[in-house]
Amino acid sequence: MTLSCDLESNRVNELRDLLNLISPKIIDYVSKADPNSSTYEASSLGTFHNPLDLKKKLVTSDLESAISTDGLKNEEKIAASGSSLDKVIDDVLSLSVNTWNPGFLDKLYASNNPIGVISDLILSILNTNSHVYTVSPVLSVLENYIGHKYASLIFTDNVETCGGLTFSGGSWSNVTSLQIARSLKFPETKETGNAGHKFAVYTSKHSHYSVEKAAILLGIGSKNVFKVKINEDGEMDVKSLEETIQSTLKDGYTPLYINATAGTTVFGSYDPFTEIAAIAKKYDIWFHIDGSWGGNVVFSQAHRYKLKGSELANSFTTNPHKMLGVPTTCSFLLLPHVGHFQKAMSLSAPYLFHGNNDDEENFDLADGTMGCGRRADSFKFYMAWLYYGTNGFEERVDHAFKISKYFIDKIYEISGFELVLGSREKLPACLQVCFYYKPEHFTELDHTKVTRYISRKLHSQGKYLVDYSPNPTSQDGKGEFFRVVFNSPILTNKVIDDLVESIVAAGKEVK
């Protein structure tokens, strides 16, 4: 009897052929979006497509039929120009947002870069799981190494014991920090749950929604998340924090967790960590910092002062996939005591974790998480740090701050532009700028119409994708404003000049 299967019987040639098919496509895709390339097209960012139209375009009856039967694999010349697979790849690339275009200013992440692509490719080839050491020896060792190195930048008082693990995004790192807080401060909750506790969580009104979602997920509930006032720069008001804590204590709450933010989502503000740490200590509350966005200013000698006091935190979230250009997704939760991951999380699961000797470090990394399977996102960060070095990361962060500052100075001189929050002198807090633009002829108080018109117009030109938002706290009737993120080494003053001109030009058309 012979048992064999054809599906992967020709892996080597198939891989070679498909790599040969796709390599020129991706080089071309990046070239089109690169101002330094001879084939640069400013409009290569791509334009908006209605979702249902796009679905019709992508999910053709031919493809539906292939999926439901034999697939494309056996098509003759599958890896040749003109094959069905060739067309699928072309459509996926051309109808997506080309984030390599310098006009991608919409979100807190930027494009990938060459070493990032290579890292993803290596992870794909290794195709393993960084949950237990046996199957991911290299990736586990490197996560252990780089997590410690990263954490030691923040936890300068605990450089021996600190460490970090990755989670699949800042939200999950924040969720995990809340779980660790509850588990270490109230260990009985692992067995008995929240019963008998009336936990309170404190965070600023400008913090990310994941803090509220974390409290919901952990069975604490959104009503027990107390949203502390912010000051005129969008930073947590520490006096209000203490008043809130005192008020909840009177109401019989158990204060569990304070979240402070390093780089708020909308405005980029940094909360006053030293003062918050003192309050956390005074009332014996876990002190977490969500630095998903702004935590990586730690690489900049010029800007790391914004993190002052973060060495006093009990946990710290930071995302290399945002400010450092590591491929999405890459988020770390850092702790002053790396052993606390396991202490807070471990269950006995002897079919998976075969145990260490007491004096050994843990390299079965999933044992310190609430999950099991893990893609080794840490490897992408390791490779980026090795490639660019600490100095390269610093240069990246500093350049982005300079570009943001340049934009602020520029719009400050042009009639119709107005900063939403904070003063020109203090800004940029982080790498985004929030502003209104009102063309001379536009007279409504509410900016929503003009903001949306201009942002859609820019997108329709395929040159710029910028975001807009209402103010999370103010009810001044001024409506939605622009939030533009300057977070890429490929940005130049030339791009900024053109962006401002494009906004002004689009503004003239608003009716």
Of 138-157, binders to a second copy (CB under 8 A) are 138-142, 144-145, 149
In the bound complex, what is the minimum distance in angstroms from residue 278's beta carbon to a second copy? 28
Contact 289, 315 (CB under 8 A): yes
Asked whether the beta carbons of 268 and 430 are under 8 A apart, the reply is yes
Contacts 24+ apart (CB under 8 A), 339-342: 339/161, 340/180, 340/184, 341/163, 341/165, 341/180, 341/367, 341/368, 341/369, 342/367, 342/368
Of 187, 193, 339, 355, the one binding a second copy (CB under 8 A) is 193
Tell me the helices (H) and strands (E) count for the chain, helix number first: 16, 11
* Type of residue found at 34: D
**Structural contact between residues 369 and 341, judged by C-beta atoms closer than 8 angstroms:** yes
| Stretch near a second copy under the rule CB under 8 A, chosen from 270-278, 370-378, 421-429, 437-445 | 370-378
- Other beta carbons within 10 angstroms of residue 142's beta carbon come to 19
The answer to whether residue 121 forms part of the interface with a second copy (CB under 8 A) is yes
Least separation in angstroms between residue 18's CB and a second copy is 5
- For residue 204, which of 251, 254, 267 has the smallest C-alpha distance? 267
Q: Which stretch binds a second copy (CB under 8 A): 120-128, 418-426, 435-443, 502-510?
A: 120-128
Query: Contacting a second copy (CB under 8 A), which of 44, 86, 115, 317?
Result: 115
44 class by beta-carbon count within 10 Å (0-12 exposed, 13-18 middle, 19+ buried): buried
Query: Position of tokens 């997506």?
Result: 96
Q: Residues 440 to 469: which contact a second copy by CB under 8 A?
A: 465, 467-469
Among 303, 340, 399, 463, binds a second copy (CB under 8 A): 399
Task: Determine which residue in the list 160, 239, 371, 426 makes contact with a second copy, applying CB under 8 A.
Answer: 371
Residues 4-43 that bind a second copy (CB under 8 A): 4-12, 14-19, 21-23, 26-27, 29-31, 34, 36-37
Contact 30, 100 (CB under 8 A): yes
HSE of 398 in the Cβ direction (CA atoms, 13 Å)? 10
What is the footprint of a second copy within residues 46-65 (CB under 8 A)?
Answer: 48-49, 51-52, 54-55, 58-59, 63
Least Å distance, CB 83 to a second copy, is 11
- Residue 354 CB, shortest distance to a second copy, in Å, is 8
Q: Least distance from C-beta 309 to a second copy, angstroms? A: 24
User: Between residue 480 and residue 499, which ones bind a second copy under the rule CB under 8 A?
Assistant: 483, 488-493
Task: Please give the residues from 87 up to 106 whose contact with a second copy meets the rule CB under 8 A.
Answer: 88-89, 91-93, 95-97, 99-100, 106
Figure out which of the listed residues 61, 76, 357, 391 binds a second copy, where binding follows CB under 8 A: 391
Residue 357 interacting with a second copy (CB under 8 A): no
Site for a second copy in 207-226 (CB under 8 A): 208-210, 212-224
CA distance 287 to 308: 14
Helix axes 84-95, 51-58, angle to 10 degrees: 160
Please pick, from the candidates 156, 386, 415, 446, the single residue that binds a second copy as defined by CB under 8 A.
Answer: 386
Name the residue with tokens 């979240």. 259
